[in-house]
Amino acid sequence: MSPNPVKHYLQFSDFDAGEYAYLFQRAALIKRKFKAYEKHHTLTDRTLAMIFEKASTRTRVSFEAGMYQLGGSVVHLTTGDSQLGRSEPIEDTARVISRMVDLVMIRTFEQARIETFAAHSRVPVINGLTNEFHPCQILADIYTYIEHRGSIAGKTVAWVGDGNNMANTWLQASEILGFTVHVSTPTGYEVDQSVAGLRSRHSYKVFSNPVDACRGADLVTTDVWTSMGYEAENEARRLAFARWCVDEAMMRVAKPDALFMHCLPAHRGEEVSAEVIDGAQSVVWDEAENRMHAQKALMEYLMLGCID
């Protein structure tokens, strides 16, 4: 008898709309119990290994605290303090770690690297950010949208800034959950449809002017001008992105009840003005907190499937 294939979460398109509906309602239940100090130990005696090849604040704390709250435990590795930093092949690392733990979360560079790890892992692997995708963040962002405004289906999300891992993941989500993304990036920083892994161009529209992208939007969102790993391009990006700062003028043309989101860390005065990120339409702190609730639902689902 062959064992069930291991289910991974390497990009947003790994799950379908039904699985997301389950995860969003499960995250709501998990959050309610957390707020009420009710125990929710569904992963007792399970261990999560977290491998960070890039820096993190939110991803580390949300996975680590979340796993403890589920009754499990966590092992934290970085490139520098493991044999990964001394060229042990990723395949061997995957074979070894996945014999000792129940679940692995990795933050790394190329998507191909996490895919190689997953191909050699006996246990589920979660993408905690790669150059191409950040699915856990968009899972939390859409959960946050639903908490504040209800279903995201049929809504318009304005993406202002780099055609990066966050943009790619929003685009994947739009195809699966039935909303539209208005994308505005500087020339040379466009989304690459094949890198984003999109089935078609139907769920997004491209705007050269970021103000036009925000017109009528239900949600305006952005990210750093320079993602981790691209620091050598800092100066060129600072010049190219000068007009891609989400400010009050952009928020004024969005719907009156539009939300503002940012995955954080943010640079006030660069990709977003202080007035917007610290203003009444911003939900960035809920968004950050919801990483933990959404990922607890995700870890449970990968380990145990649907509960109830």
Select the binding partner of residue 164 from ligand NVA, ligand CP, none (C-beta < 5 to 8 A, by kind): ligand NVA
Least Å from the CB of residue 211 to ligand CP:
26
Select the binding partner of residue 125 from ligand CP, ligand NVA, none (C-beta < 5 to 8 A, by kind): none
Full 3-state SS string of 118-132:
HHCCCCCEEECCCCC
In DSSP notation, 81-121 reads TSGGGGT--HHHHHHHHTTT-SEEEEE-S-HHHHHHHHHT-
Query: Among 26, 107, 262, 293, which one carries the catalytic annotation?
Result: 107
| Residue corresponding to tokens 């891609």 | 244
**Of 137 and 169, which has the nearer Cβ to ligand CP?**
137
Interface positions, 262-291, toward ligand NVA (CB under 6 A) = 263
Say whether residue 185 binds ligand CP (CB under 6 A).
no
Closest-CB residue for ligand CP? 59
Taking CB under 6 A as the criterion, the residue among 132, 141, 223, 271 binding ligand NVA is: 223
267 is catalytic: no
83 is catalytic: no
| Residue 223 Rama label (left phi>0; alpha psi -120 to 50; beta) | beta
162 three-state secondary structure: coil
One-letter amino acid for residue 289 of the chain: E
DSSP state of 270: T
Distance CA 121, CA 104 (A): 9
54 three-state secondary structure: coil
Say whether residue 228 binds ligand NVA (CB under 6 A).
yes
Query: Among 46, 58, 60, 134, which one carries the catalytic annotation?
Result: 134
Least Å from the CB of residue 246 to ligand NVA:
15
Cβ-based neighbour number of residue 222 at 10 Å? 29
Interface positions, 148-207, toward ligand NVA (CB under 6 A) = 164-166
223 is catalytic: yes
End-to-end CA distance of the chain: 27
202 is catalytic: no
Say whether residue 263 binds ligand CP (CB under 6 A).
yes
Which chain residues interact with ligand CP by CB under 6 A?
56-59, 129, 137, 263-264
- Active-site residue set: 107, 134, 137, 223, 263, 291
